[in-house]
Amino acid sequence: MVASIAASAFFPAQSSSSVASVKTSKIIGEGPESLNVGGIVAKPASSSGAMQVKVNAQAVPKINGTKVGLKSEFLKAEDDASSSAPRTFYNQLPDWSVLLAAITTIFLAAEKQWTLLDWKPRRPDMLADAFGLGKIVQDGLAFRQNFSIRSYEIGADRTASIETLMNHLQETALNHVKIAGLMDDGFGATPEMSKRNLIWVVAKMHVFVEKYPSWADVVQVDTWVGSSGKNGMRRDWHVVDCQTGETIVRATSVWVMMNKQTRKLSKMPDEVRAEIGPYFIERTAIIDEDSRKLPKLHDDTAQYVREGLTPRWADLDVNQHVNNVKYIGWILESAPTTIMESHELAGMTLEYRRECGRDNVLKSLTSVNNRPGGSEGAGMECVHLLRLEGGDEIVRGRTQWRPKSARVFDNKGPLPVGSS
C-alpha cells in the first residue's frame, strides 16, 4: 500500500471527467481556436457544417446527456497537447529533480544528527568535566571539579581575579559535601548539624597563587578535609592547569561551627564528628605556612584608609551574613593603586574575627612594607585590617605581592576597542 501511495505521487492517474472533457471539446470545436476565452460560443471549423451552440454562462452545458467542463484556451491547449502526445514510458517518469531534492534533504538531516552525536572539541581539556558537578577521587577521600575561566572573570591584566579563584575554592567545598551525601538543608551543613542549628564559618585561610589562569583556560580543583584541633576542621585545595598540569593555587583553611540562632561559636558534637570523620585525611596543600602573628592596624598607623564600605543584598549568603570572598575585595579597596598596577597578589593570610551583616558599615585599612629578606624591587608586603566603623574587627590580613610579568602590558598593550 505504501508503494502504491508513493507511485501515485509521481504517476498521477488521469480522472475520467477530465478525459471526457477533452473528448467533448474535440467534438464541439475540433481545436482550441473554436472556443473563445469566455467559453461562451463555439464555432464550426468550416461553413459547411453550420452549427452554433450558445451556452448560458450560469448553466452547465450538456452534449448527448454529458456535462461539459469548459476551460480557458491555455488550459485547454495543455489538455490537447497531453492527449495528443503518445503515452510512452519516458514521459510517464516522475520529476527527477524533486526526487533528488528529497533524497538530499534526508541525507543532510542525517549527517547533521550524526555530527551532533559524534562532536569532539578541538581542545580535549575543554570537556574534561567542565560542565559537571565534579567527582569523588582518591578512594572517596577527595573531590575534584573543573572550571572554565569566563570572559567576565578576567581583569585588566587578562587573567582571572583572585575573587574568581576563591569562588572556585568555595564552590568545590560545597559540592564535596553534596556529592558525598552529607549536605542537609543548610549551606554545607550535615544532617546532625541541621538538627542543632549549626553552620560552618571560616576562621583562618592561607592562599598562595603560583600563576593566574587566562580566559578560556580550564583549571582542575582538588579538595579534601582533615581534623584541626578538637573542634575545628581543616580544608585544603590544590588547583592545577588542566592542559599543562602546572600548579595555580595552593590553599588551606580552618573552619569552626557557629550556632545559627545565637551567632556564637560552638563545640563540635560527637555526632557531627562521626559524620565527617571518615573523610578526614592527613595531608596538607601548604607545608610551610606563614605562622607570623598578624598585627593590628589603627587609623594613625595605617597608610591607606577606605571608609564607608557597605554590604549589598547580593553580598549575603544563605546564612544571612557576608560571604567570606567579599571580604577580600574590601581589603584590596584600600591597597594603593600603584601596587595593583605593577604587582600581582602572590599570597595572603586571613584571620576572620567576626561576621558582617547587611546593615554594617566598614572601614578598610592598609599599611605597605618591603618583603622581609628581599630587595626593594623584588616584592611587596601589605598588612590589612577590615573593621566596623564602631571599632570591632572583622578580618585581619597580610598579603604578598610580586612584580607582574613585563609581557602583560609592555608587549600586549591594552585590549583593543570592541574586543571581547
Polymer length in residues for the chain: 420
Cite the active site residues.
319, 321, 356
Secondary element (H or E) of residue 250: strand 247-259
Measured distance CA(249)–CA(246) in Å, rounded: 10
For residue 67, which amino acid is it? K
Non-local CB neighbours of 374 within 8 Å, separated by 6+ positions: none
User: CA-CA distance, 366 to 388, in Å (whole number)?
Assistant: 15
Cα separation, 412 vs 414, in Å, equals 7
Half-sphere exposure of 234 (CA within 13 A, CB side): 16
Question: Which three cell numbers, joined as nine digits, stand for 204?
Answer: 583562618
CA angle, 141 then 146 then 148, to 5°: 165
- In three-state secondary structure terms, 262 is coil
CA separation for the pair 207, 289 (Å, rounded)? 9
For 270, phi then psi, to 5°, come to -65, -35
Lookup: cell for 213? 589562569
Helices (H), 90-231: 96-117, 162-179, 191-195
For residue 211, give the nearest of 253, 158, 168, 159 by alpha carbon.
159
